[in-house]
Amino acid sequence: MFLGTSFAETYPAFSPDGRWLAYASDESGTNEIYVRPFPGPGGRSQISNGGGIAPQWTRDGRELFYLASDRRVMAVSYRASSDTFTAAKPRVWSEVRLTLGLGAQEFDITPDGKHIVAVLPEGAEEKPKPDNHLTVLLNFTDELKRKAP
């Protein structure tokens, strides 16, 4: 066991280099995002402020995304050295609020880190799209079959 406490630690996610572990914990009374070195030693850094779940690292190792308590996607730039993790202030990446409760992975990030895929709540497509908007492709397998030679 790597981390065993009396709190609920959920949504574990390894950094692309495998040296850091992001996760959600309710130790403060609400779910927040933390990062700690893996396999250790070292303390944890709190990333979110005001709630967060479902951390996801970009593959290029430059940002950590998560869902805020209001279900908006947040992004955090960071710098990691051999034993130090320094995170910038979280910023809203998208104003669109995602649907929760779909499983351990609420959304995913494209390899280039510029887009995410997620399930949108009903009626979300009726709102104007901000600069960083989400697009949902329905019938994904049908679309793949159509485009395959």
pLDDT digits (tens, 9 = 90+) for 45-71: 899 998 998 899 998 888 999 999 888
- What average pLDDT does the structure give for the chain? 81
- CA 112 to each of CA 16, 57, 61, 121: distance values in angstroms, whole numbers, following the listed order: 13, 11, 11, 25
Instruction: Please give the angle made by the CA atoms of 126, 131 and 132, to the nearest 5 degrees.
Output: 85
For residue 127, pLDDT over 60 is answered with no
Handedness of CA 97, 75, 90, 31 (dihedral sign): positive
Tell me the backbone φ, ψ of residue 72, rounded to 5 degrees.
Answer: -80, 150
- 122 vs 138: CA distance, rounded Å: 13
For residue 120, pLDDT over 90 is answered with no
- 120 vs 79: CA distance, rounded Å: 31
What is the phi-psi region of residue 95: left when phi exceeds 0, alpha when psi lies from -120 to 50, beta otherwise?
A: alpha
Whole-prediction pTM value? 0.74
Say if CB 61 and CB 16 are below 8 A apart.
yes
Q: Please, what is the end-to-end C-alpha distance for the chain in angstroms?
A: 47
Structural domain spans, the chain: 9-147
According to DSSP, residue 3 is labeled -
